[in-house]
Structure 1
């Protein structure tokens, strides 16, 4: 599928935050997440903080254990309680006890259980726990991030509790070749609305699902623009920066090859890669085989504040994303948003939604993926032309301000929540 360039105007039916504050949700909203917190999912914390700043009361449901040691610096500002839902149930009696609670406590619980025929025992048990918490605590809507296990549980829990749900589909959950089907069309059909984070994703899903994508809208992930205040552009030095997990879809092997070619042509460029992942040994071997130990550093994971400092002082951010052999790919890497907000010039590739953000020659430089020569030439061009860097810095920040302000984008999401809750209350009154 070809990449899509679209205008700044919102091209979907996503609601805009209205002047009469109709996006105020009457009741709590529950966020259902596979793991919380997760270092790579800064957008989740940013979104939650924006909702809380607007007065929305939230609870978080985490379905799996935390596996990381590094977290976002602003995580401590989140006020929402975190409910860690058990994901191991030792005996059949445990599950039967939960089923009985759902039958006796939840409105229409037995009928809802009877209608569910596509759930695993673990998903069902977790959904019952979430549904009982919603019933007890006045949670009127659930929102999940990623269309996999978190949306599976949110969908079941909403059905059991008689409330609505929505979810945001990002990238891997859309494109990865999972062993088990994601049932994306069914999840969209049952949801009050489904969100995706780029126009590219939206077009792909509309083509794939046809009428089944009618509830899908595009709302970009956003940033707190006060936190990511612009840094004056300074064209100095030859160090470039890359940030991300050390996995195939990030394309860091292509970047290392581009650096090798630049060095072979006499460039003094050096590269710092921040992140950790399964490809570390492979990348380290590539660096050693190319005799680039003095040119490329693998710095491991760093706290978000340290990443921001690195973005502020680097010559450019390079984000050489590729399509993985397993279908996995990035949607819109958050680090690109962060770099452009700070005024750091960016070089990236022409896959998925990236060209909506990195518009070649306008807000950044965008090259074909898996093309180390094109990547090397873009890096060299930016290093040699400070005026270009200044122009890209200015235009990048302006684009972020127009399309990626978390306060506006989170308000659009709350409008979806409010409309879903209001429609559900009208429906329930009609049934009664």
Structure 2
């Protein structure tokens, strides 16, 4: 199969769930091209990016100047350069009678640039709901051909819907071919705003368990209990609450060590909180780490904490991959009743779940694990078994190929019933505002 992945940014060190699907499909003999709005950090990448030479398969939408004059001047240059390759498509991209402000703003002219000389695809897989809007726009302009599948992963079905309104995906639900959600929690969220329940399935984000060696957790000879959190330093990760919980626990367990791996806009506020609480010698912000460095940190740790919360803008998490990686390595976990996490962590079996933002409950469950190291082994083994059963990337990639094949078997006239060209409706103008400067992935 010829498969196009549409993403916001590539490569992204934290989005191993996208990378695992790409490499899995390539290993199975399929051709995968990647279309991204922006280029990510290419100096610190996952090893698979280089091993599979993925940057050679990646095509980027030219940067769209926010300044109207600059946008127009660059658009004229793109028009003349692109017209030589595919004049019919270039002219269609400027048809604002059909495509509304997507064309009038020149977004469509910029967006078709990487697709001017591409053959049709069997599958177009948009990795977030917002990418599905991009894929739909490009397909309706005739820039890309193929069955359109959209995955909902978190931000796109929580914050984005809250910002844009419940109708933001109305046209996508009508004209897209199939939909996936990375957990049942987000599948239900999509159904609630209009997705046909018969055309959306749960397809979890998998990990390669062979890369995460299971270890029976035991207290260290030096008496230090090492606790770790991994995640972007943003509100929905709830790291403020774990810092406060650990700071309180340090009063009775002074040998604790708490390492926080990740970076983000809350780094300075979190560091100030650590300094204010006077625990800078025991709680460390380690910044972003490579995959191998992260594995080494997890390997030295005893307890994993994921204190996720629903952000004020509505942003919520799915069963996050790094939590799966920690469980695969045998770490007992403490997390929250949040988003899709209860679908991953079995309360009392592989770890504990507490209410969001409940510092006391968080501290109580972490404290229990500190004082009962004999539970680490059974919880760690339960977590490893659950990950192997439900989130093995090889099994999930086999299922993904099967799903692609099933979507391809749907008669073309069925797709046509849902894909009649529409005029410029009020909802299309709403979509156009997100097309011009689509939001970044969560």
- Confirm or deny a common fold (TM above 0.5): yes
The aligned counterpart of 1:408 is 395
Alignment of 1:67-106 (within 5 A): 67=41, 70-80=44-54, 81-88=57-64, 89-91=71-73, 92-94=75-77, 104=88
Q: Please give the alpha-carbon distance, in whole angstroms, between the structure 1 residues aligned to 2:196 and 2:111.
A: 24
How many angstroms apart in 2 are the aligned matches of 1:415 and 1:123? 34
Matches within 5 A, 1:39-118: 39-67=13-41, 70-80=44-54, 81-88=57-64, 89-91=71-73, 92-94=75-77, 104=88, 115-117=98-100
3-state SS of the aligned residue for 1:226? helix
Shift of 1:428: 9.7
Which residue in 1 is equivalent to 2:119?
Answer: 137
Residues 307-363 of structure 1: CA deviation (Å, up to 9, x unaligned): 011111101111111111111122121110111111111111110000111111112
Task: Indicate conservation of the 8 Å contact 1:146/1:169, yes or no.
Answer: yes
Does the 8 Å contact 1:185/1:213 carry over to 2?
no
Q: 1:158 aligns with which of 96, 115, 139?
A: 139
Q: 1:172, 1:312 → 2: CA distance?
A: 30
Q: Secondary structure at the match of 1:369?
A: coil
Deviation at 1:158, TM superposition (A): 2.5
Is the contact made by 2:94 and 2:108 (CA closer than 8 Å) also made in structure 1?
no
- For 2:175 and 2:85, the matched residues in 1 are separated by 24
Structure 1 residue runs of 5 or longer lacking an equivalent are 1-24
Distance apart, 1:185 and its partner CA: 3.2
The higher-RCO structure (CA 8 Å, 6+ apart) is 1
Q: Does 1:222 align with 2:206?
A: yes
C-alpha deviation, 1:45, in angstroms: 0.9
Return the alpha-carbon distance in structure 2 between the equivalents of residues 62 and 406 of structure 1: 23
Partner Cα distance (1:413, 1:114) in 2: 38
Equivalences for 1:203-352 in 2 at 5 Å? 203-209=188-194, 212-236=196-220, 237-352=224-339
Number of equivalences: 399
Describe the shift of the 1:118–1:401 C-alpha distance in structure 2 as closer, same or farther (beyond 3 A): farther
Cα separation, 2, equivalents of 1:115 and 1:154: 16
Offset at residue 290 of structure 1 (A): 0.8
| Cα distance change on mapping 1:99 and 1:426 into 2, 3 Å | farther
Partners of 1:233 and 1:390 within 8 A in 2: yes
Question: Which whole-Å deviations, capped at 9, do the CAs of 1:36-75 have from their partners, x for residues lacking one?
Answer: 0012211111111111111111111121132575322332
Q: Give me the whole-angstrom Cα distance separating, in 1, the residues matched to 2:171 and 2:45.
A: 33
Q: Do the aligned partners of 1:240 and 1:315 also contact (CA within 8 Å) in 2?
A: yes
Q: 1:428 to 1:130 in 2, by over 3 A?
A: farther
**In structure 2, what is the Cα distance between the partners aligned to 1:115 and 1:414?**
34
**CA-CA distance at 1:103 after TM superposition:** 6.4
Question: Partner of 1:139: helix, strand, or coil?
Answer: coil
Q: Does the CA contact (< 8 Å) of 1:143 and 1:165 recur in 2?
A: yes
CA distance in 2, matches of 1:195, 1:303: 29
Q: CA RMSD in A?
A: 2.9
Q: TM-score, normalised by structure 1?
A: 0.84
Q: How many angstroms apart in 1 are the aligned matches of 2:61 and 2:53? A: 18
Q: Is the 8 A contact 2:61 2:111 kept in 1?
A: no
User: Measured at CA, do residues 118 and 105 of structure 1 come closer, stay the same or move farther in structure 2, by a change above 3 Å?
Assistant: closer
